[in-house]
Amino acid sequence: MLNMLQRPKRVAAIQDLSGFGRCSLTVIIPILSSMGIQVCPVPTTILSTHTGGLQTPVFLDLTDYVSQSLAHYRQIGVEFESVYTGFLGSEGQIDHCLAYFAAYPDAFLVVDPVMGDEGKTYKTYTPEMVRRMAELVAKADMITPNLTESCILLGEAYPASPITRSQAKSMLVRLSEKGPKIVVVTGVHFADGTLANIGYEREKNAFWSVSCRYVPVKYPGTGDAYTSTLLGALLGGESLPAAMERATRFLETAIKTTYGYGSDPRHGVMLEMVLHELSSQEPMAGYQIL
């Protein structure tokens, strides 16, 4: 009782701040805060928009700020229960993320290895950055790549057709062999026609699957929204399959609500309309065993 944490759990989110387009910190802060988690943003870059098709954003690099913020937090003794990284703008930023990880070895280290989507690597990710991202992945407790990023990390071609359950399990295990004890891969199309987010816990040798409805539009920032909801649920003490289900259901609501309005997909999901759903913590038990 005496060593109870007498404050909300705290996450250092080493991520960019993109003013328009609903991704990274503008998604991560409201989601985790709604789930009762304190977010301490460590902005890596300030951009006017994300890099997904809204012409060339104004770009302010804050790489040096990342290490300086770490030095300050160490000086004043700030503790974090989790350190969470996502989209990164330079190799220097990866070095500083590694320094944060080394400074907080007991924290739950989460790497969303944002590098690409739909079989393509984002233009801003050089081969050297892809290689350095693997170093970050090796230190993580949990990674949340999409299928494209999983293939990049494994050095494999993006599958031309849907995959089987045994291929999916093998992918999860091989990603976990790179370091992280929890692997969650989003957006997996199965040969039986289902779309699912799948997960693996190495210590339990447990495989999970949560199916999701297909909506024929891609919105930026949905990976950030998924990983932050997943992280919020895990820090709240939920099991991995329940946390995956919570994140999947929330994203489904956000995507379908937005799709109904027919808004420009580049503007992201209408988070403001659905955020309140995260404050209710109904038990989740609709996941499946993969």
Stretch of 48-56, 66-74, 90-98, 231-239 lying at the interface with ligand PXL (CB under 6 A): 48-56
For residue 207, give the DSSP letter.
E
Binding ligand PXL (rule: CB under 6 A), the pick from 52, 180, 199, 241 is 52
Total chain residues near ligand PXL (CB under 6 A): 15
For residue 112, give the DSSP letter.
-
> Of 17 and 290, which CB lies nearer to ligand PXL in the complex structure?
17
- Using alpha carbons, select from 135, 126, 54, 136 the residue that is nearest to residue 89: 126
Structure tokens at 160: 């031309």
Binding ligand PXL (rule: CB under 6 A), the pick from 13, 31, 47, 231 is 47
- The site map against ligand PXL for 207-226 (x = CB under 6 A) is -------------xx-xx--
Rule CB under 6 A: say whether 50 interacts with ligand PXL. Answer: yes
**CB 220 to ligand PXL: min, Å:** 5
Give 84's Cβ-side CA count (13 Å radius). Answer: 30
Strand bridging mode 59-61 / 108-111? unpaired
**3-class secondary structure, 21:** coil
Give 287's Cβ-side CA count (13 Å radius). Answer: 24
**CB 281 to ligand PXL: min, Å:** 26
Structure tokens at 121: 């690597």
Binding ligand PXL (rule: CB under 6 A), the pick from 23, 234, 271, 284 is 23
For residue 35, give the DSSP letter.
T
Give 8's Cβ-side CA count (13 Å radius). Answer: 13
**CB 90 to ligand PXL: min, Å:** 12
Rule CB under 6 A: say whether 114 interacts with ligand PXL. Answer: yes
Beta bridge partners, 43, equal 15
Stretch of 49-57, 62-70, 126-134, 158-166 lying at the interface with ligand PXL (CB under 6 A): 49-57
Rule CB under 6 A: say whether 51 interacts with ligand PXL. Answer: yes
Q: State the amino acid at position 263 in one-letter form.
A: S
Q: State the amino acid at position 271 in one-letter form.
A: L
Which residues here bind ligand PXL, judged by CB under 6 A? 16, 18, 23-24, 47, 50-52, 87, 114, 122, 220-221, 223-224
